[in-house]
Each structure stands twice: as C-alpha cells, then as structure tokens.
Amino acid sequence: MNDLRLTSKQEVIKAGLNVLYNIGADQICKPCIASGGSCCIDCRFLQPGVGCQQRNTSCTAWLCGFLKYIFFESGLLLQWELFWDQVPGQDYREDYTPDHFDVITWLDSPNIRFLSKAFAQDLTELLQNRDLFWLLELKEQLDRYVDLWLDYTDPEIKRAIEKKMNALTNEFRHFHSVKEQWKRGLI
C-alpha cells in the first residue's frame, strides 16, 4: 500500500515538466506551433517569443492529442492521469491549487525523447504538403481515440481502437519504426 506524501504545487509542476521534457514534448510542439496549432494561442499569460509566464498545474497536466498519443504508446498515460487526479484546483489555463497537499502516487520519468523526435520528424515532413486543418483534425482524432481506449475495458474493443490509431498514423513511418525497435529492446 502506498503512503501519503506531502508535496507542493511547485514540486508537482516541476515533476510534470520533467516528465514532459523526458518524453520529448518540446520536439513535437516545435512543428505544431510553427504551423499555427499551438494550444496557448490567445492566452493572456503567453508572452510572444518568450513563452508561458504563469505555469500552472492545469496546463502542465493537460495533454493535447499528440502528447496523449505519445504517453499512450509509451505506456505512461495511466500513471500520468492517476498522478494529476490527485492534484486539486485545476482549472482552464489557471489553477487554484493550494501551496501544499498530499499525494499517494508519484511519476516515473524515463528518457524516451527519441520517440517524440521521430514523431516530430514525421509531422514536419507531412506538414510540407498539409495544412493547419489537417494538423488540428489529426490532433483531435488522436485525442478522441485515446480517450475511448481509456473508457473501454473490453480487450476486443481496445484492440479495435488501437487498429484505428495505427491506421490514422500509418504515415508516421519514423515513429512506428523507432517505437517497434524500442519495444523489442533494440534501442
């Protein structure tokens, strides 16, 4: 049985950013932002060219479809969801999280930046012949499929959803190749 651990708002933000870095989120954000797909557009806390000026628990915990898909494929999604479920006061683009509170589970943070690097490479290449609408649509569809996968417990249905995600991302050749090598322990 896990013990309660006293933590702070700043500590969970730091732990979350560390996981996001180790999973390579920044590499996917680069082509996404360059194509106009940023999730921070029109936020009052965004300083253009500099970045977020008000890091909060809500935005740290939130995953767009691309990142959710990488967390899903790397097997880190459930621990991420469980961890942030313990953090009170999350809202839209801001938080009311207390300075100190207890949690039970913590985050593992393996370095798998190569997965996102490969995904970002595919995304960058595909964007040469696609538009912003395609990017937003893909991001939304991945978001929906991963949420559906989480909702269902029936293994048959889960497998069907995984097939759909594979079909949706079949042009992400670098990503799938690197992912397969990683799962076989070759990298």
Q: Verify binding: residue 59, ligand SF4, rule CB under 6 A.
A: yes
Tell me: does residue 136 bind ligand SF4 (CB under 6 A). no
What is the SS3 assignment for the chain? CCCCEEEEHHHHHHHHHHHHHHHCHHHHHHHHHHCCCCCCCCCCCEECCCEECCCCHHHHHCCCHHHHHHHHHCCCHHHHHHHHHCCCCECCCCECCCCEEEECCCCCCCCCHHHHHHHHHHHHHHCCCCCHHHHHHHHHHHHHHHHHHHHCCCHHHHHHHHHHHHHHCCCCHHHHHHHHHHHCCCC
User: Which of 15, 46, 82, 127 touches ligand SF4 by CB under 6 A?
Assistant: 46
Binding range to ligand SF4, per CB under 6 A, among 4-12, 29-37, 111-119, 156-164: 29-37
121 is a contact residue toward ligand SF4 (CB under 6 A): no
Q: Which stretch binds ligand SF4 (CB under 6 A): 33-41, 110-118, 146-154, 156-164?
A: 33-41
What residues make contact with ligand SF4 under the rule CB under 6 A? 28-29, 32-33, 37-40, 43, 45-46, 52, 54, 56, 59, 64, 66-67, 93
